[in-house]
C-alpha cells in the first residue's frame, strides 16, 4: 500500500506551463518497483489517463498531451512529476496521481490500486 499526495496545481493562461508533483509514502526500494500514472477529470467527464511511467522508465502518453507533457520520477525522493507545457483550456481538470506495483505504463484507470486526492488545474483562454 502506498499513500500519494499531489501538489502544484493552479491557474495558468493558455500556452503556459505547470509542474505537478506527487509524493509517495513508501520506502524507496518499493517505490522503484511501482508504475506511476497521472490521470485527469474534467467537469462532467470521465477520468482519463494522461501519462504513465513504468519501473524501467518506459513512458506512455495520451495522444492529446504527447509532445506537451512529460512524466518523470525521482526514485531517491519517492516522487513523480508531470511537466505540462503549451497548455490548453481543455487541459483543465482535477489531476490525480496513481500507483500500482504491477508492470506496464498503463493509462487504464482499472490497473491502479493507489490514488491521491487530486490537485486542481485551470487553464484560461
pLDDT, tens digit, for every residue of 5-51?
999 999 999 999 999 999 998 776 677 788 999 999 999 999 999 99
**What is the reported pLDDT for 28?**
66
What are 30's three cell numbers?
518499493
Extract the C-alpha cell encoding 52: 504513465
pLDDT at residue 31, as a whole number: 74
**pLDDT tens figures, 58-90:** 999 999 999 999 999 998 888 999 999 999 999
- What is the C-alpha R_g of the chain? 13
pLDDT tens digit sequence for 86-123: 999 999 999 999 999 887 899 999 999 999 999 999 99
Residue 61's pLDDT is what? Answer: 98
Amino acid at each position: 500500500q502506498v499513500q500519494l499526495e499531489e501538489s502544484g496545481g493552479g491557474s495558468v493562461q493558455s500556452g503556459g506551463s505547470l509542474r505537478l508533483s506527487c509524493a509517495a509514502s513508501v520506502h524507496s526500494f518499493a517505490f522503484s518497483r511501482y508504475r506511476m500514472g497521472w490521470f485527469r477529470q474534467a467537469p462532467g467527464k470521465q477520468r482519463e489517463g494522461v501519462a504513465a511511467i513504468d519501473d524501467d522508465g518506459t513512458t506512455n502518453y495520451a495522444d492529446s498531451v504527447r509532445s506537451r507533457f512529460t512524466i518523470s520520477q525521482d526514485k531517491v525522493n519517492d516522487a513523480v512529476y508531470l511537466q505540462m507545457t503549451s497548455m490548453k483550456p481543455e487541459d483543465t481538470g482535477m489531476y490525480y496521481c496513481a500507483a500500482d506495483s504491477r508492470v506496464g505504463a498503463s493509462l487504464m484507470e482499472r490497473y491502479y490500486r493507489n490514488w491521491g486526492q487530486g490537485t486542481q488545474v485551470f487553464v484560461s483562454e
